[in-house]
Structure 1
Amino acid sequence: MNYENIIITAENNIVTITINRPTKLNALNKKTIQELHDAFDFIEKDSDIRAIVLTGSGGKAFVAGADIAEFSDFSITEGTQLAQKGQELLFDFIENLKTPIIAAVNGFALGGGLELAMACHFRIASDNAKMGLPEVSLGVIPGYGGTQRLPQLIGKGRAMEMILTAGMIPADEAYRAGLVNHVVPQAELLDFCYGIAQRIVKNSPLAIGQAIKAVNANFKPGIDGFKVEIESFGNCFGTVDFKEGTTAFLEKRKADFKGK
């Protein structure tokens, strides 16, 4: 598939998606959101792909926010539809993807950029990264899940402070708050992410998909996460991967998972 605003490369069962709008600091516009959805949907159907790294081009920004010019004159109805469609098409979509996504946060991750990173399964930041949700300084609030995912990750009080002050925090503070898992020098960011991705690739992709489903269930209103875990646990017993994993353990060899 051909894309205008993203670049896709693949190696060793790992795909890298790079948002490529450097003159706009990789800001999210409608076309980029659609292209990201299409790319993630296509990759999810490829059984050879076991992990995804998402990053931004250039050294300045992961994603510096949404493209404000696209919605500055929207009505209430249009604004509501913008948030709803964006969440369904991309942010909720990737959160529930069975293939794990690592956000390699290089530089600014602001507004929709931080919301995109938070929708990924976890985040690694470069030491020059800065993160924030500045929407209230524009007379609006985060609309792509930021008011929900940020408190889940760092707690209500810290999230309230970040959102209400519209301030940015540096990478080390994001690490202490639990917003990112690791902070590494910018030059080492992608290699560090690939190292984690390679560890993921060694495991059963079916079990990983079930684990993602079970963890996410805990944050969905009206869903009993323990029940989902029990069902997901049981589902694993019907897979070839389970038989291979347990047999390999008993035979004291490395498992060769097929994702079946």
Structure 2
Amino acid sequence: MVSWKCSCVDTRPGTLWATCLCPSMCEQMRALMSTLTNCDSVPRVVVFRSLVPGVFCAGADLKERALMDDRQSDLFVHGLRDLMTHIASLPMPTIAAMDGVALGGGLELALACDLRTAAYSAQMGLIETTRGLLPGAGGSQRLPRTVGVSLAKELIFTGKRLGGRAALAMGLVNRAVDQNETGDAAYSEALSLAREILPQAPIAVRMAKEAMNRGTEVDITSAMAIERMCYAQVIPTRDRREGMAAFIEKRPPRYIGE
């Protein structure tokens, strides 16, 4: 049994249980994403991890998928794609901590996050072509945007699996580390990364994410307009005034997210 934990670094964690990305697991994740989006106290950083050593997520349950007819299979993958889009659209930074296997939909989940950490011993890949499929939950679009089109084509065409070192070298993950005795080195590194984000102004971080996410999908002129709109959101904030005051007074800023 794989236990998924979505840890809101400055709030209580939510735990989901499933063997893989099955329909029931996806429904639980949708409920959690809705909570994260609509809660009164928006978490500053969210970390996705597995509670089982050696496994991040092995993707969809192919035995279960084999029992679906064509229409059911299409609807399931469409729902999975929407779930990954919801994760990618969360307003706060998200980090996937891959301490083990992240294959197919598991890697697509990690790609839907803003940042990724991995243990060197982790194995990851979009292996769908080895099963007569293609990445259908956003992987065919997010992987090229992460590592480049040519390299993404090679990885998807061949269904190649990568270790943490290779993933770091090609920019698939932000940080990779040796696995530790407790099997949670990538999670520890994700928390370290989150702690570097936490002191920064929350609204500024969220607006920076919005500017980059929306700006990379359009031409540069339109992207500049998006940046201006996002920048306008931080000008009237108390945090911006606090940041300026802290600089002048030569002290650490105390941001409150307002």
Gaps of 5+ in 1: none
- Residue 256 of structure 1: aligned partner: 254
Deviation of 1:50 after TM superposition, in Å, equals: 1.4
Q: CA RMSD in A?
A: 2.2
Deviation of 1:48 after TM superposition, in Å, equals: 5.9
TM-score norm. by structure 1 comes to 0.88
Asked if 1:43 is matched to 2:43, the reply is no
What is the distance in 2 between the residues matched to 1:43 and 1:109? 23
Change (3 A) 1:125 1:253: same
Deviation of 1:203 after TM superposition, in Å, equals: 0.9
Contact 2:11 2:43 in 1 (8 A): yes
What is the distance in 1 between the residues matched to 2:7 and 2:108? 23
Gaps of 5+ in 2: none
Contact 1:204 1:258 in 2 (8 A): yes
What is the distance in 2 between the residues matched to 1:18 and 1:57? 9
Change (3 A) 1:219 1:87: farther
What is the distance in 2 between the residues matched to 1:217 and 1:99? 14
What is the distance in 2 between the residues matched to 1:15 and 1:175? 30
User: How many residues of Structure 1 are paired with residues of Structure 2 in the alignment?
Assistant: 251
Change (3 A) 1:239 1:150: same
What letter matches 1:229 in structure 2?
Answer: E
Asked if 1:178 is matched to 2:156, the reply is no
Identity %: 31
The equivalences for 1:210-225 within 5 A come to 210-220=207-217, 224-225=222-223
What is the distance in 1 between the residues matched to 2:248 and 2:150? 47
- Residue 113 of structure 1: aligned partner: 106
Which of these residues, 224, 229, 233, is aligned with residue 231 of structure 1? 229
Asked if 1:82 is matched to 2:79, the reply is no
TM-score norm. by structure 2 comes to 0.89
Change (3 A) 1:195 1:16: farther
SS in 2 for 1:54: strand
Contact 1:124 1:183 in 2 (8 A): yes
Change (3 A) 1:151 1:250: same
Contact 1:106 1:128 in 2 (8 A): yes
The equivalences for 1:63-142 within 5 A come to 63-88=57-82, 90-142=83-135
